[in-house]
Amino acid sequence: MHSAVLDWYAANGRDLAFRRTRDPWAVLVSEVIAQQTQAARAAEAWERFIDAFPTPAALAAVSPATVIRAWRGLGYNRRAIALRAAAIRIVEDHGGRVPGTLDLLTALPGVGPYTARAVLAFAFDRPVAPLDTNIRRVLDRALGPLPTAPRALQSTADGFVPPDAAADWAHALMDVGATICVARIPRCDACPIRDWCRATQTSSPPMVEGSRSRPKAIARKTPFPATSRWLRGRILDRLRDATNDAWVAFEDPIGTHPLPAVLAEVRRMSSEGLLETDSTTNGARLVSSSYLVKPPG
């Protein structure tokens, strides 16, 4: 089964830019970007970001304003602030090198168990399974049912990892899940795991017993421009466009959001470290001061 999956991946795997590196920092950046971003778009954004900040020290030494500008278009901007904080920690506590253990990785700001295991698998080729939706669905259908208890689930998934090909195995299962073993109508005839697949042998696709695929998304009831996420994006865009980190006064509604709602969101974003405010003028700007760290060595 391992050989079949890995051979399929060698011939059919998606050619994403961040798969061409084993540099732990580059892998960590790619995983943070990919948390809320489609794979192809994430790969394009990752190339720009890693060109600008090729090492943890490079990111640690710039201001939050610089990072947020570089993050433009990716959304969920708190990820950028957390990644910069992780870079500072890597420089200060680990000599500028991304640590290679689960405990040390999950101690970094913004790095959870999934991201840590992805770094271990993709950068260090450790035999662990980063359990995203696609991998979990493939394993659950083909080799499950998987346990529901988190620790048992992770242990079971880790047990399927070929010890000498952890990175390619994870990438392969992600691609199988994204292109073949999809949630609603899996293409079982094209699947490299079909000869071992429990679901194919015991039920008829597309409905597979034990599959934990997410249900079809419910149509959005609130128009996107009326959401706080849209408003936050517009606020940050105004600040990104300000010359020399000048203060920007918020004195009018934005879209359908009245001024009190705009100012409340500005204050909330300030508490998250995305910007700083001047309460006397209703002004705000991206945080322009740098928390500088000494380069390693």
Enumerate the active-site residues. 31
Q: At what angle do helices 133-143 and 166-179 cross, to 10 degrees?
A: 90
Q: End-to-end CA distance of the chain, in Å? A: 46
Residue 8 to residue 165: CA distance in whole angstroms: 14
Angle at 153 between CA 152 and CA 159, to 5 degrees: 85
Question: In the sheet that 283-285 helps form, which strands lie side by side, from edge to edge?
Answer: 248-249, 283-285, 276-278
**Nearest to 120, CA basis, from 12, 223, 28:** 28
Q: Where are the alpha helices (DSSP H) in 111-165?
A: 113-122, 133-143, 150-159
DSSP letter at 19? G
DSSP letter at 254? B
Residue 83 to residue 22: CA distance in whole angstroms: 18
How far from the centroid of its chain's Cα atoms is residue 150's Cα? Answer: 20
Q: How many CB atoms lie within 10 A of CB 154?
A: 19
The region that residue 208 occupies, defined by phi over 0 for left and psi between -120 and 50 for alpha, beta otherwise, is beta
Alpha-carbon Rg of the chain, whole angstroms?
Answer: 22
